[in-house]
Structure 1
Amino acid sequence: MIVVKFGGTSVGDAAAIDRAAAIVRGRMPGRPLVVVSAMSGATNALIAISEQASKGHLVGAVRSVEVLREKHLQALADLVPDETVVREVGAELSASFDDLARLAEALSVLGYLTARSQDAIAAQGELLSSQLVVAAFRARDIPAEFVDARQVMITNDRYGRAEPQVDAIAERARERFLPILREGRIPVTGGFIGATSEGVTTTLGRGGSDYSASLFGAALQADAIEIWTDVDGMLTADPRVVPDAKLIERIRFDEASELASFGAKVLHPSTITPAVRRGIPVYVYNSRRPEGAGTLITSDAPRRPVSAIAAKPSTTVVKLRSARMLLAPGFLRTVFDIFERHRTSIDVIATSEVSISVTLDDAENLEALLVDLRALGDVSVDRGRGIVSVVGAGLTDGSNAMARAFAALGDARVHMASVSATGINLTLVLDADQVTPAMQRLHDAFFGGAPGGAAGSAS
């Protein structure tokens, strides 16, 4: 069996859902499990509704609920010709919107928003889209069956960024998905959402739909996982920054994971991990151009000095200097315990005998974090920085790739430089306004003159 995941733009309107149906029809011999995101823009709208309501702006929140209701019901009417089915499914969708309006009213009365309440509202996007997709598929004689993802995706109770419980998910996936697949039907479920073992709704955080697809694929030992999005696949750089970025037809698991972690938007950073553990190939395709080659992420892709350039245009650098670090066993563990306690992850790290510098993608808990760090030594914070990463499995294989990378930067000031433990990622911290020109110069240095692209299909 295979897992076929459609992102928000790939189920964003009636035309997109119609294309998704055609894609699934062509994959029916492979026994697909379909995972869908919310319709494009729906999750942002739902989060805005929760925030509006909690601030007492109930009229605006309810108006936004009605806009979403109309969007989904219009798509249903456009996709399903049978008026009886439209009325039945429309009534189910409307009931969900009525519940959403009541949740907004309750938040307005309470006057504050918890992460648990926000998850309950944000999860509606995937629940609505998956039911809409099922109706559209059935109207096209595709035997689809809705499965509430909260019955399968079991997580802890860290609302907003819930952590999946892999063993429980594997057991539930076999219980809920396999019987449907064995009967020749197609399960359709939402990504991004889950529930605690007690049944309380959770979400996996932004981009969690890809992660859901990978976890379900790993649980069912799928033959392949397909990610359908609005780009042709993984590219040698962000095409919004580098217009001549080239398609990477085959890329290694570790390279794809690094690129996702350091700014590539095609995949969620966690997507690859469950697939790697099971050795499941991951394909990335464009739902608007299903005939395209796409990108295959696999363990036996070519080993290149550089496969792609990624970037994060904004990051925060925290520096700790302490004489207590000198020859002090366990000091770094104490530092990292502080970051863990404040639920703050580190992107890049550089150390010396008496100092440590780290970059933070999410500085939400920075002030509380700094209080604890200052107990260990002198702390400074640099804002207005960005990260550029040069990724390639053969980056340190005796080639001159690293020298070319530094030469391409010209006079750009490098605040930090780090090579990953596996040697496939050279990460550079620059001034934020230097990130875009640095990406362009690096891409030109490695891919500018290669016919067909140095990251194309290689034997």
Structure 2
Amino acid sequence: MLVMKFGGTLMGDPKAIAHSASLAAASVRAGERVVVVVSAMSGVTETLLKIAASAEGGDIAFANDEIAILRSRHFGAAQALGAAPDSDAVREIRELLETLRQTVYGVYLLRELSPRTRDLIVSFGERLSAPLMDVALGGAGVRAHHLTGGAAGLTTDAHFGNARPLPGAYPRIRDRMSGLFEAGLTPVVTGFIGETEDGVITTLGRGGSDYTATILGAALGATEVWTWKDVDGVMSADPRFVPDARNLAHLSYHEVMELAYFGAKVLHPLAVTPLQERGTPLRVKSAADPDFPGTLVTSEAHADAAHPVKAVTAIRGATVLTIEGAGSFGAPDVLVDVFRVLARENLTVLMVSQSSSMSNVSLVIPRASGPHALASLKQEFGRDDRVRDFTLNEHVAVVAIVGEGMRGTKGVAAKLFGALAIEGVNLLMISQGSSELNISCAIDESDVDAALRAAHAAFDLGKERATA
């Protein structure tokens, strides 16, 4: 059994959807059982977020105009894929768009957009694209049945916007999918979407369609999970900024998780987590070149002592928040209180560094979260003499090198810092976990492209090499 996930670009227009369907159909014709997971059409999730925000702000005219554009786009795609005007797919798309319009109008009337309602609104992207893939598979000669992640059995907690699967989801998924397979149908499941045990729609976070695919793969005991992309696989760096970046034939689960966390956009950061217990391989494949093996992700590291670093990546749009307090950070309760506030406000921390004198601690957080984090901490510690001051250093990026071969290898940090020094890149913060899987540095955002190229060159990442 294979689980195949198709992202927004590969669902972007009728031609792309038909091509994606042909890739799944080829495996079905070869005798494989296939579960198809789809993202929204490209750009639709962002449009839905803008619609929700405009309705909350009182601009219902903009929201309705954008819904009309979505209507035209999805109806046009259905027609191009061969759906008749009175077909089930067209009727479902019409009903979904009307439900979206009513939901958005409710937000406009209340001027309130809760996380629960935001999840409901953004879920329409995948719910509208799944019928299109169903039609395309039918045109390729494959009998299919589309359903939401929740209907497929993916039950989650109620952490709207960043939900996680419940343990009971796995047997439920197996039960729901087995009935479709027994009926000779290929399931088409909406990525990104789950539901609570009470049937309330949730979302798994941005890029959550990868996560949906691996949850389904783990639940169903898939041979492999294939995530189809418009690139050859996972690259040694972003080729937009590092021209000699190359495809990586193999990565370990831990390596790909580190790369995803530190800004590589090929996979959701949690995508491999469901696969680890069974050791299910994940393969990142190119839709433009289906015969190319892409990148295989497994539990084995395939470390190369001569080349300890596999890739370099970056998180842009960050800020450094420094909290100062005259030696008070030697007391564990201060850090506990800092992180308790950030957790309460659902704010992400990318890096942490504490001075050796324990007089200050610096946190790297997404730039958009900076003002909120600063205000929340000032409110918490406003009259607390343990903390003296807070400062924000904006326009920061984090550059990270990743590779299992770094563990126990001498000279890696020196080579990285030397390469950055030659390029005149100043290091604001440095961090390395005890796993020695990565070294990350906070730098001025204006230096990030130069830093990526310098690190990539220093570790010869542009050179092809044999895999273990």
Matching of residues 224-263 of structure 1 within 5 Å: 224-263=224-263
String of CA shifts for 1:118-151, please: whole Å, max 9, x gaps. Answer: 2111101111111111122112211211122123
Aligned to 2:299: 299
1:357 aligns with 2:362: yes
For the 8 Å contact 1:395–1:402, the answer to whether it is kept is no
**C-alpha separation between the residues in 1 aligned to 2:231 and 2:450?**
23
Is the alpha carbon distance of 1:43 and 1:329 closer, same or farther for their aligned partners in structure 2, counting shifts above 3 Å? closer
Q: Please state whether the residue corresponding to 1:146 is helix, strand or coil.
A: strand
Is the alpha carbon distance of 1:395 and 1:132 closer, same or farther for their aligned partners in structure 2, counting shifts above 3 Å? same
Query: Does 338-347 or 289-298 show the bigger shift?
Result: 338-347
Shift of 1:92: 1.7
1:391 aligns with 2:396: no
Per the normalisation by structure 2, the TM-score is 0.92
Shift of 1:278: 2.5
String of CA shifts for 1:63-91, please: whole Å, max 9, x gaps. Answer: 211111111111111112x637x633212
String of CA shifts for 1:395-448, please: whole Å, max 9, x gaps. Answer: 143343222111110221101111122001000111111111100111111226
Matching of residues 30-69 of structure 1 within 5 Å: 30-69=32-71
Shift of 1:449: 6.3
1:156 aligns with 2:128: no
Matching of residues 14-163 of structure 1 within 5 Å: 14-28=14-28, 29-80=31-82, 83=84, 87-151=87-151, 152-163=153-164
For the 8 Å contact 1:149–1:189, the answer to whether it is kept is yes
Shift of 1:327: 4.9
Q: Please state whether the residue corresponding to 1:363 is helix, strand or coil.
A: helix
Give the letter for the 1:155 counterpart. T
Aligned to 1:413: 426
Matching of residues 328-343 of structure 1 within 5 Å: 328-343=331-346
For the 8 Å contact 2:428–2:443, the answer to whether it is kept is yes
Is the alpha carbon distance of 1:448 and 1:83 closer, same or farther for their aligned partners in structure 2, counting shifts above 3 Å? closer
Aligned to 1:201: 201
Shift of 1:206: 0.9
Aligned mate of 1:322, from 325, 328, 341: 325
Aligned to 2:282: 282
String of CA shifts for 1:301-329, please: whole Å, max 9, x gaps. Answer: 42141000010122111222334546535
Is the alpha carbon distance of 1:342 and 1:178 closer, same or farther for their aligned partners in structure 2, counting shifts above 3 Å? same
1:443 aligns with 2:452: no
Q: Please state whether the residue corresponding to 1:246 is helix, strand or coil.
A: coil
For the 8 Å contact 2:25–2:141, the answer to whether it is kept is no
Stretches of 4+ aligned residues off by more than 4 angstroms: none
For the 8 Å contact 1:147–1:187, the answer to whether it is kept is yes
Unaligned runs of 5+ in 1: none
**C-alpha separation between the residues in 2 aligned to 1:326 and 1:338?**
16
Shift of 1:48: 1.3
String of CA shifts for 1:180-204, please: whole Å, max 9, x gaps. Answer: 1244321111011122211111212
Aligned to 1:265: 265
**C-alpha separation between the residues in 2 aligned to 1:277 and 1:170?**
13
String of CA shifts for 1:36-63, please: whole Å, max 9, x gaps. Answer: 1001111111111112222222222112
**C-alpha separation between the residues in 2 aligned to 1:449 and 1:75?**
40
Give the letter for the 1:400 counterpart. G
For the 8 Å contact 2:21–2:136, the answer to whether it is kept is yes
The alignment's C-alpha RMSD in Å is 1.9
**C-alpha separation between the residues in 2 aligned to 1:133 and 1:201?**
21
Aligned to 1:371: 379
String of CA shifts for 1:221-278, please: whole Å, max 9, x gaps. Answer: 2221111121111000011111221100111111110000000010111111111232
Aligned to 1:178: 178
Q: Please state whether the residue corresponding to 1:394 is helix, strand or coil.
A: helix
Give the letter for the 1:444 counterpart. A
For the 8 Å contact 1:35–1:188, the answer to whether it is kept is yes
Q: Please state whether the residue corresponding to 2:439 is helix, strand or coil.
A: strand
**C-alpha separation between the residues in 1 aligned to 2:107 and 2:314?**
38
Per the normalisation by structure 1, the TM-score is 0.93
For the 8 Å contact 1:320–1:373, the answer to whether it is kept is no
**C-alpha separation between the residues in 1 aligned to 2:19 and 2:132?**
14
**C-alpha separation between the residues in 1 aligned to 2:420 and 2:428?**
13
For the 8 Å contact 1:162–1:203, the answer to whether it is kept is yes
Query: Does 113-122 or 32-41 show the bigger shift?
Result: 113-122
**C-alpha separation between the residues in 1 aligned to 2:163 and 2:369?**
19
For the 8 Å contact 2:236–2:245, the answer to whether it is kept is yes
Give the letter for the 2:349 counterpart. I
Aligned to 1:346: 349
For the 8 Å contact 1:19–1:288, the answer to whether it is kept is no
Query: Does 296-305 or 252-261 show the bigger shift?
Result: 296-305
**C-alpha separation between the residues in 1 aligned to 2:169 and 2:377?**
33
For the 8 Å contact 1:412–1:430, the answer to whether it is kept is yes
Query: Does 35-44 or 102-111 show the bigger shift?
Result: 102-111
For the 8 Å contact 1:236–1:308, the answer to whether it is kept is yes
Identity %: 33
